[in-house]
Chains A and B, each alone.
Chain A
Amino acid sequence: MRMRMSIPAKIVLYTFLVIVVIITFIPLFYTLTASFKTNMEIAGGGVNPFPATFAKLFTGDATIADLFDNYIQVFSGNGGWVGTKGNFFGYTLNSTFVSLLTVFFVVLFTSMSAYVFQRGHFPGQKFLYWLFLATMFIGAGSITIFPVLRITTKVGINNLFGLAIVQFGTAGASNLFLTMGYIKTISTELDQAARIDGCSFFSTWWRIILPLSKPILGTIALITFRGSWNNYLLPSLMLAKSQTATTLVVAVVKLQSMGGAGASQYNLMMAGTMLAVMPMLILFIAMNRTFVEGITAGAVKG
């Protein structure tokens, strides 16, 4: 839609937009700069975002290592409970592992199931389809978290691997329907040709449908990765008992509530926060389009 606007109107509009941009940036910006400050500096207050060390860099009173001190501390912690300095390198690995594994499960099973529902013909199909549909409306995630925990505890999968499984299981049917809609656009002529060329029901999926579904699966992979990386509630509960196997986000939150004798270790917390946030931001900048398409595709379906 177009708008013909006068110049003053445009100026007002842009000013507004820029203000919103600034408001959006401020929290992240201050967190970033705070992650380079010492705890005293943070607690000391002041509006100046820039760490003193930054200026000292230029006067030669400090080194780069000094600037990144928080990060170094947080990375090289001796492992164990977040409360000392924690081992954020390990936590990052954990988050990466869990997220990748979740993506693997989601993409694999969703593409298979979407294909079966879209192209298959078997007794009970309608019932299962409605089951997925129904749970999409009812399943609220945090509503059933307790029974889910009971199950995982009983089965004994309260670890990183189990976390991925549960995250896959509770991912919801929206991925399924999204993929089904995509497969619908693939002509059934291809299925027929594949069948004549010797493909079974399964190998038609493996050799034809799956490769052709890459676009939608890519989108789903990104969104799932983000969801897993940023997930807090489930991992905090499932991994509560483990000392080393925590995800990044959970570790950062723990930093907040631990804090030792009185004052929180704000500087470490900020560093940890940036570590938890940066990967997602970088991913976003790199895959901006895909994310946007993915979010809107799922939503405006009708």
Chain B
Amino acid sequence: MAEIRLEALKKDFDEVHALRSLDLVIRDHEFMVLLGPSGCGKTTLLRLIAGIEKPTDGRVCFDGEDMNGIEPMHRNVAMVFQNFGLYPHLNVFKNIAFPLQSLKWKPDAIEAKVKETAERLDITHILNRKPRQLSGGQKQRTALARAMVRDPAVFLFDEPLSNLDPKMRVEIRDLIAELHRSLKTTFVYVTHDQGEAMQLADRIVVMEEGMIRQIGTPAEIYNEPNSVYVAGFVGNPQMNFYAARMSDRDGECVVKFMGTEFTVPKSLIPEEQYRNESGKKIIAAVRPEDFRLIPDTEEAAKYHFEAAVRKIVTMGAGLYTELEAGGVVFTAVFQNHTEIAEGSTVTVHLDPSRIHLFDSESKLSVRTLARPEVTSDGTL
């Protein structure tokens, strides 16, 4: 149970700026996910919180206390690693008991606690085995047990699911979610898989090249991405981006792309941005799931255009369809069993309120330009 506060945190490795002066508050009991591609600094950030890496500048505070110079053990954090990090020469029992031995617990107490934790994670039957005799899922459960056994204030996860096969991934992911619910501890979780982030997080921190791009709940990140980067990172299949033109028409914002004009509601874009503009370049983005063949809202009914169906892939969750309109190729996802054939032409509907607009140069959401976020720092 701890609130983690990062202030002006910077980390350099010789010439490389792994983290550029960032600020972040992770709330007590929160499940916070650090999301981003390889090299964005998320693992470095995790390690700074853990204490196995020292910051070049700035501070890490737990409940207001500066953790500088304090060893991980004394920060009361536990960590679960990508490659499990199990000690190969010790069996499962001894692996789990390891941190308790460091704390100089008595053997009886250790045995009791280890057994209790093992039961919790359903691994009592393999306590005698060595790591090389375990399956991926069993290894990760052991790693979780070892982390839990000390009742830490903060749990850290470094891409714990990457080395598991898909089925095991779901199993352990659900286990982690359940653990968070029952343990009520602060979880900080690093991943590059946006699906995982969306599933598990209370809040997500999207990172790029050592900086925080956006902080928000999964819904916020998904529905109101503050930049092209965040919009493109989250969502599967990826968001469609269009080079569009924006004009002021009688006080209304009209955006044209795919050969079609859409009048965008005022809630989406502050007036100053489009006033008196004519044909100004802008980036429009639409999520594949927001296109409709059958309109579901009044606005969607009003706006439609013709598109040629180029390719259809049945992906289980839906029909991933590649379409072309106005010389632009884009992706849409339609419900399974929709009657649609490759090579045909269909009428596609789009509710303009589902369009995201981004400034052409800064690549930031038009809303961000007007209203910079409070808790994040380091926007380009």
Contact flag (A, B; Cβ within 8 A): yes
Determine if B72 is an interface residue (Cβ-Cβ < 8 Å): yes
* A window 140-197: CB within 8 A of B: 187, 189-190, 192-197
B85-93, B307-315, B364-372: which lies at the interface: B85-93
Task: State in angstroms the CA–CA spacing of A192 and B158 once bound together.
Answer: 12
Task: State in angstroms the CA–CA spacing of A194 and B71 once bound together.
Answer: 12
Contact of B72 with A195 in the complex, beta carbons under 8 Å: yes
B98-106, B252-260, B263-271, B355-363: which lies at the interface: B98-106
Question: Which B residue's beta carbon lies closest to that of A198?
Answer: B102
Given A189-B85, A196-B78, A197-B102; 14 other pairs, CB 8 A cutoff: A189-B81, A189-B83, A190-B85, A190-B87, A192-B79, A192-B85, A195-B52, A195-B72, A196-B79, A198-B71, A198-B99, A199-B102, A203-B102, A212-B89
Determine if B48 is an interface residue (Cβ-Cβ < 8 Å): no
Contact of A208 with B87 in the complex, beta carbons under 8 Å: yes
Task: State in angstroms the CA–CA spacing of A198 and B52 once bound together.
Answer: 11
List residues of chain B with CB within 8 A of the CB of A197. Answer: 73, 98-99, 102, 146
Determine if B18 is an interface residue (Cβ-Cβ < 8 Å): no
Determine if A211 is an interface residue (Cβ-Cβ < 8 Å): yes
Interface of A is mostly: helix
Determine if B22 is an interface residue (Cβ-Cβ < 8 Å): no
List residues of chain A with CB within 8 A of the CB of B86. Answer: 193
8 cross-chain CB contacts under 8 A: A189-B82, A194-B87, A195-B72, A195-B73, A196-B50, A197-B73, A198-B102, A199-B102
CB within 8 Å for A198 and B73 given contacts A211-B89, A212-B88, A212-B89: yes
Task: State in angstroms the CA–CA spacing of A211 and B91 once bound together.
Answer: 13
List residues of chain A with CB within 8 A of the CB of B85. Answer: 187, 189-190, 192-193
Contact of A193 with B79 in the complex, beta carbons under 8 Å: yes
Task: State in angstroms the CA–CA spacing of A192 and B77 once bound together.
Answer: 12
Task: State in angstroms the CA–CA spacing of A208 and B47 once bound together.
Answer: 20
Which B positions have Cβ atoms within 8 angstroms of A? 47, 50-52, 71-73, 77-79, 81-83, 85-89, 98-99, 102-103, 146
Of residues A196, A197, A203, which shows the largest number of chain B Cβ atoms within 10 Å of its Cβ?
A: A196
- Please give the distance in Å from A39's CB to the nearest CB on chain B: 55
Which A positions have Cβ atoms within 8 angstroms of B? 187, 189-190, 192-199, 203, 207-208, 211-212
- Please give the distance in Å from B222's CB to the nearest CB on chain A: 32
- Please give the distance in Å from B84's CB to the nearest CB on chain A: 8
List residues of chain A with CB within 8 A of the CB of B146. Answer: 197
Task: State in angstroms the CA–CA spacing of A211 and B50 once bound together.
Answer: 26
List residues of chain B with CB within 8 A of the CB of A187. Answer: 83, 85
List residues of chain A with CB within 8 A of the CB of B81. Answer: 189, 192-193
Contact of B102 with A193 in the complex, beta carbons under 8 Å: no
Task: State in angstroms the CA–CA spacing of A203 and B101 once bound together.
Answer: 12
| 9 closest residue pairs by CB, A with B | A198-B102, A193-B85, A198-B73, A197-B99, A196-B72, A189-B85, A211-B89, A196-B79, A197-B98
Task: State in angstroms the CA–CA spacing of A195 and B88 once bound together.
Answer: 16
List residues of chain B with CB within 8 A of the CB of A199. Answer: 102
Task: State in angstroms the CA–CA spacing of A87 and B102 once bound together.
Answer: 51
List residues of chain A with CB within 8 A of the CB of B50. Answer: 192, 196
Task: State in angstroms the CA–CA spacing of A207 and B82 once bound together.
Answer: 22
List residues of chain A with CB within 8 A of the CB of B98. Answer: 194, 197, 207
Question: Which A residue's beta carbon lies closest to that of B74?
Answer: A198
Contact of A193 with B87 in the complex, beta carbons under 8 Å: yes
List residues of chain A with CB within 8 A of the CB of B103. Answer: 198
Task: State in angstroms the CA–CA spacing of A190 and B79 once bound together.
Answer: 11
- Please give the distance in Å from B277's CB to the nearest CB on chain A: 53
- Please give the distance in Å from A190's CB to the nearest CB on chain B: 6
List residues of chain B with CB within 8 A of the CB of A192. Answer: 47, 50, 52, 79, 81, 85
List residues of chain B with CB within 8 A of the CB of A193. Answer: 79, 81, 85-87
- Please give the distance in Å from B123's CB to the nearest CB on chain A: 18
List residues of chain A with CB within 8 A of the CB of B82. Answer: 189
- Please give the distance in Å from A208's CB to the nearest CB on chain B: 6
Task: State in angstroms the CA–CA spacing of A192 and B80 once bound together.
Answer: 10
Question: Which A residue's beta carbon lies closest to that of B78?
Answer: A196
- Please give the distance in Å from B232's CB to the nearest CB on chain A: 31
- Please give the distance in Å from B144's CB to the nearest CB on chain A: 13
Task: State in angstroms the CA–CA spacing of A212 and B130 once bound together.
Answer: 13
Task: State in angstroms the CA–CA spacing of A194 and B85 once bound together.
Answer: 9
Task: State in angstroms the CA–CA spacing of A211 and B98 once bound together.
Answer: 14
Task: State in angstroms the CA–CA spacing of A192 and B79 once bound together.
Answer: 9
Question: Which A residue's beta carbon lies closest to that of B99?
Answer: A197
